[in-house]
Each structure stands twice: as C-alpha cells, then as structure tokens.
Amino acid sequence: MKVIYVLWLRQLKRYFRSRARIVGSLGQPLLFLLALGFGFGPIYTKAGGGNYIQFLAPGIIAMSILFTATFSGIEVLWDKQFGFLKEILVAPVSRLQIMVGRTLGGATVAVFQGTIVFFLSLIFGFRPTDLTLLPLALIFMVLIAVIFTALGTAIASFIEDMQGFQLIINFVIMPTFFLSGALFPIEGLPKTVAVVSSMNPLTYGVDALRGILISSARFGLITDLAVLLCVAAVIMAAGSYLFSRIQI
C-alpha cells in the first residue's frame, strides 16, 4: 500500500507544482463553453432544445476529465526516459500496485481538473438542478477518470516515444469525445453512429453527469454505473497486464 500512496502523492506534486499546466489545461474547456455555449446556444434554443449551456456543461466537465486523465499516461514515458520507472520496477513490489498508484494519482488530478471546470461553468450560467446530488456526480467523475487514466497508462506501456503516444492518444480520444454526446444529443443519430456511440464508455459518463446535474439521463443512472464499473475493471486488468510487461 505504501508504494500506491507514494505514486499517488508524486502525481499530485507534479500537477500542483506546474501552475502553467493547471491554467493551460483550462483553455480548451473554456473555449468550448464560450464558443459553443454562446455561439450555438440561440440555435439550440430555437430548435426547442432549451438552454444549451445547461446541456453542454456536463459534457465539457467530462471532456476535461477525459483529456487530463488520458494524457497523464505520458508521465510513464518521462519516467522511462529519466530512469525513475526503472527504480520503481526493480523494487520488491507488485507491478499491479504500481499501476494502481499511478492510476489513482492521474485520476485524482483529472477529477480536480473537472471540478475546476464545473465551478467555471457556473460563471457562464450553468445551474445544477439539485446541489445535494453533487457528491454522486463526483463518484461518476472518479469512474471516468479511472477508466481513461488506466487507458492512457496502458497505451504508454507499449509506446517508446512521445510523438507516437500523442498520435495514438489523439486518434483514440477525439472520436471518444465527439461520439459521447457531450456536444449534441445522441437521440436521432444514424443507426451506425448510434451503435458506435452506445459502445463508447464516455457516453455513459456524460449521460450520468447530465442525469445528476440537470435531471436528463437517457440510459438511467443504474445502467451508467454498471457500464462504467465493468469498463473500469476491464481496462484496469488490461492496463495492469501491459504494465507488467514493460521492459526497462
């Protein structure tokens, strides 16, 4: 358990030491809230969809968690390059514990980032329907963060260079984001797109956050929770296996 705590704490220290990283990672969510929220808001309202900021904010919170969590895997490559990972791997501890520690650290950072975006969205006019449900929203934010931090770590486990990692991650997370229903309702999509969207774990994370924050869940919170728990277990298992095969 000690190694899990050490790796978790190390991830947090890395994040909070870099103010530029904190501020820079807020640029994309703010751009989406401003450009899309106020740009497409009138169109969305005229189409009978209601307040677009209300619809958009949960998706942008999920997006912030997705990007922060997945790109945390790049730290595995930094640790490979500077030798820290070798020191950890030769220690008499389970690689599963190392994987869990890194995942929890990256997930904590991602949830913190998502929380900041939530408070920023309030400035732009977003209003949760029931503040007492916010702790439940936090649980789903943690699940989203764990899934995509583990995914980023798993990908970084068999990649040797930064450029290759960034290319693969962008190839994975951009379709994941755009097909999650974060920016538009998934009802009425073409059948093929709807099937792909239903296989996307982020779809259920976004749906859960909308259900909690604005009482607008499509699948239901029980379904969302079950899917996210199953996906988290599978990706953690796959990530642990790939991480255990790292050659230093």
Tell me the whole-structure pTM to 2 decimals. Answer: 0.89
Look up residue 197 and give its two tokens. 């969207």
Between 64-68, 125-129, 157-161, 171-175, the lowest mean confidence (pLDDT) is in 157-161
Helix axes 221-244, 201-214, angle to 10 degrees: 140
What is the predicted pLDDT for the residue at 34? 85
**Per-residue confidence band for 161, with pLDDT thresholds at 50, 70 and 90:** confident
What is the predicted pLDDT for the residue at 5? 65
What's the first-to-final CA gap in the chain, in angstroms?
23
What is the predicted pLDDT for the residue at 203? 94
What are the domain boundaries of the chain?
2-244
What is the predicted pLDDT for the residue at 57? 92
Distance of alpha carbon 108 from alpha carbon 96, whole angstroms:
18
| Other Cβ atoms within 10 Å of 169 Cβ, number | 21
| Other Cβ atoms within 10 Å of 163 Cβ, number | 8
Spell out a b/e string for 62-73, using b for 16 or more CB atoms within 10 Å of the CB, else e.
bbbbbbbbbbbb
What is the predicted pLDDT for the residue at 87? 65
Which whole number is the average pLDDT over 3-24?
65
Are 53 and 136 in contact by the 8 Å Cβ rule? The answer is no
**Per-residue confidence band for 22, with pLDDT thresholds at 50, 70 and 90:** low
Average pLDDT, rounded, for the chain:
83
137/188: higher pLDDT = 137
Distance of alpha carbon 184 from alpha carbon 113, whole angstroms:
22
What is the predicted pLDDT for the residue at 58? 93
User: Which amino acid belongs to residue 222?
Assistant: I
Return the half-sphere exposure (C-beta side, CA atoms, 13 A cut-off) of residue 70.
22
Comparing CA positions, the residue from 153, 149, 130 lying closest to residue 141 is 149
